């Protein structure tokens, strides 16, 4: 079976890391497949939400240390080997940050190293009561290499980001929610049902508006207020031309659920 599985149903795609025997450690092949799959799903107008999760007991135990030891991939040059060249444009966590379709991370088990950064790059995080976050970068002599240094201060503030990064202790599901690193703790056996419920609610809304909102959230992180409100107005004028806006207004008037087409 493929190390990355993609299933589509009812406007929702499920991307599953599928190396349960290795706690879904990310190989070079998985890096390529994950980045390509995220980009392809973002281009698919039928997909309104993505769920990212792992097979088996773990979400993702990080980059495959066997690749690092063999001198391949992101860690190759650090181990003295001839690393495969990977630009930042090709890193899945960068693609994850760039796409407009919403992504829910269903953290089914330990998320360590790269898996921790991968989870932070998702828009919504639901965490199993059997899972944990393991930001053990400082214990391995490295830094969060795929987004963690950017996300942590923005998600939880400078002091707490420093606490998590410098100390490197495991974070329980309850603590993850308290810090703002996860949205909700879910009983393990109900995790995927909960993720699908959230994804279905997102998929039932106007997809053009949801994608635009995510895009504006992202741009707003680096814009001043005046520039951002200008971009919001320009986006709103474009949305007013869509059939989804007409359907949303008509459904409100007729007191019924809207049926959006993404056009």
| pLDDT for the residue numbered 79 | 47
| pLDDT for the residue numbered 28 | 86
CB 125 within 8 A of CB 155: no
The pLDDT of 87-116, averaged and rounded, is 90
CA-to-CA separations, 100 to 2, 45, 122, 147, in angstroms, rounded = 26, 11, 11, 17
- Coil/strand/helix, residue 33: helix
The pLDDT of 25-47, averaged and rounded, is 93
Residue 48's contacts (CB-CB under 8 Å, 6 or more residues apart) are: 11, 12, 101, 102, 202, 203, 205, 207, 210, 262
Q: Minimum mean pLDDT among 4-13, 57-66, 225-234: which range?
A: 57-66
Helices (H), 44-81: 65-69
Q: Minimum mean pLDDT among 23-27, 91-95, 197-201: which range?
A: 91-95
| pLDDT for the residue numbered 165 | 95
Architecture in CATH of 4-203: Alpha-Beta Complex (3.90)
Across the chain, mean pLDDT equals 91
pLDDT tens string 102-127: 999 999 999 999 999 999 999 999 99
- What is d(CA 49, CA 26) in angstroms, rounded to the nearest whole number? 23
| pLDDT for the residue numbered 73 | 58
The pLDDT of 182-208, averaged and rounded, is 98
The pLDDT of 199-224, averaged and rounded, is 96
| pLDDT for the residue numbered 213 | 97
- Segments making up each domain of the chain, as ranges: 4-203, 207-254
Q: How many DSSP H helices and E strands does the chain contain?
A: 11, 8
- Coil/strand/helix, residue 124: strand
CA-to-CA separations, 183 to 19, 107, 204, in angstroms, rounded = 26, 11, 20
pTM score, two decimals?
A: 0.91
């Amino acid at each position: 079976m493929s190390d990355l599985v993609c299933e589509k149903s009812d406007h929702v795609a499920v991307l599953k890391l599928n190396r349960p025997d290795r706690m879904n450690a990310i190989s070079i092949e998985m890096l390529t497949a994950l980045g390509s799959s995220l980009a392809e799903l973002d281009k698919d107008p039928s997909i309104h939400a993505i769920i990212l999760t792992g097979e088996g007991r773990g979400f993702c135990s990080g980059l495959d240390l066997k690749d690092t030891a063999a001198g391949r991939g992101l860690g190759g040059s650090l181990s003295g080997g001839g690393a495969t060249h990977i630009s930042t444009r090709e890193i899945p966590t960068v693609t994850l940050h760039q796409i407009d379709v919403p992504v829910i991370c269903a953290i089914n088990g330990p998320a360590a190293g790269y898996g921790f950064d991968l989870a932070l790059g998702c828009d919504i995080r639901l965490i199993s009561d059997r899972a944990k976050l393991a930001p053990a970068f400082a214990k391995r002599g490295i830094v969060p290499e795929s987004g963690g240094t950017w996300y942590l201060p923005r998600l939880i503030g400078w002091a707490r980001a420093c606490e998590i990064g410098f100390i490197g202790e495991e974070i329980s599901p309850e603590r993850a929610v308290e810090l703002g690193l996860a949205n909700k703790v879910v009983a393990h056996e109900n995790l995927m049902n909960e993720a699908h419920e959230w994804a279905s609610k997102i998929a039932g809304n106007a997809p053009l508006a949801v994608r635009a909102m995510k895009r504006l959230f992202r741009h707003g992180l680096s814009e001043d207020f005046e520039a951002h409100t200008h971009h919001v107005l320009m986006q709103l004028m474009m949305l007013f031309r869509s059939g989804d806006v007409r359907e949303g207004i008509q459904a409100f008037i007729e007191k019924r659920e809207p049926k959006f087409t993404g056009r």
